[in-house]
Amino acid sequence: MAGGEKFHGVWSYSPSVPAAVIFIILFTSSTGFHFFQIIKKRSLFFIPFIVGGCFEVGGYITRILAHKDTNSQLIYIMQIILLLVAPGLYAASIYMTLGRIILHMNAVHISPIKRTLMTKIFVFGDVVSFFVQLGGASLMSEQKTQSTGKAIVLTGLAVQVAFFLVFLCTLILIHKRLTENPTAASATAAWTKHFYALYFASLLISIRSIFRVAEFAGGHEGTLMTHEIYLYIFDAVLMFGVSICFNVVHPGDIIGRKGIGYEEPVMPLT
């Protein structure tokens, strides 16, 4: 992978085609399997996760296009947008998963945040982060607004990290309470592995978001932005890890329409 001081059009390096192809294949495979899983397990709440996977694929496709045209501002901005907002779509499904697990375990009473509000609060934060990053990235297409755009992207990433930290605290507290005071439903369901999957995915997304904050804070000539390897280590690999994590431990196994012990809920899932 290229990296260093030489600039290639609007890029600080010439984007690697082999690296992009590898991750296009990986994300396409994992996302395709997710599509099969949500149909089989009837887990439609996981659709945003699939959209996020499609954004990842699109992001690396645009990096291949950028290799052929490093002067295209449009291609440069498109890959930034797609790879920036994809984890937010992953996060939306993660937030909804916790709310559904709580309901399935009949553990609404142990949540520190009212269950009907919890998903809405975290998804709201996710949506705010999504559009702030989107707006910031679009401003980066013009030289005169590039600095403003980067500052806005940093704000969006900071919002994402903040909400994720609150989510992690909520997740830990619910896990602790459910372990200490199990419900009848939790005694017969293999729910623990799903909490660990949420921990793992949340940690990876948090590390990736912190990396992105450092990357944009360092500027266009900073080490993180001028060496492509860091993008693949701290973004591509981590987000693929999130995708594979839920291929292996899919929430539809316990809370989908085909989940173990599934019963038609008496209230709408939100």
Q: Tens of pLDDT along 81-140?
A: 999 999 999 999 999 999 889 988 888 889 998 877 888 899 899 899 989 998 888 888
Taking the alpha carbons of 97, 255, 26, 39 in that order, is the dihedral positive or negative? negative
Whole-angstrom Cα distance, residue 156 to residue 138? 13
Chain CA centroid to CA 150, Å: 20
CB atoms within 10 A of CB 263: 8
Q: How far is CA 80 from CA 17, 63, 83, 185, 216, in A?
A: 16, 9, 5, 44, 11
pLDDT at 9: 67
pLDDT of 259 strictly over 60: no
Residue located via tokens 């290639």: 8
Per-residue pLDDT for 260 more than 60? no
Task: Give dist(CA 250, CA 202) in Å, integer.
Answer: 15
Separation between Cα atoms, residue 17 and residue 99, nearest integer Å: 40
Contacts of 174 (CB under 8 A, 6+ apart): 98, 102, 107, 110, 111, 112
Tell me how far CA of residue 244 lies from CA of 28, 90, 200, 248, in angstroms. 11, 12, 11, 6
pLDDT at 257: 57
Question: Quick one: average pLDDT of 259-267?
Answer: 39
- Cα–Cα distances in angstroms (integers) from residue 179 to residues 174, 182, 192, 218, in the given order: 8, 6, 9, 43
**According to the model, what pLDDT value does residue 262 have?**
40
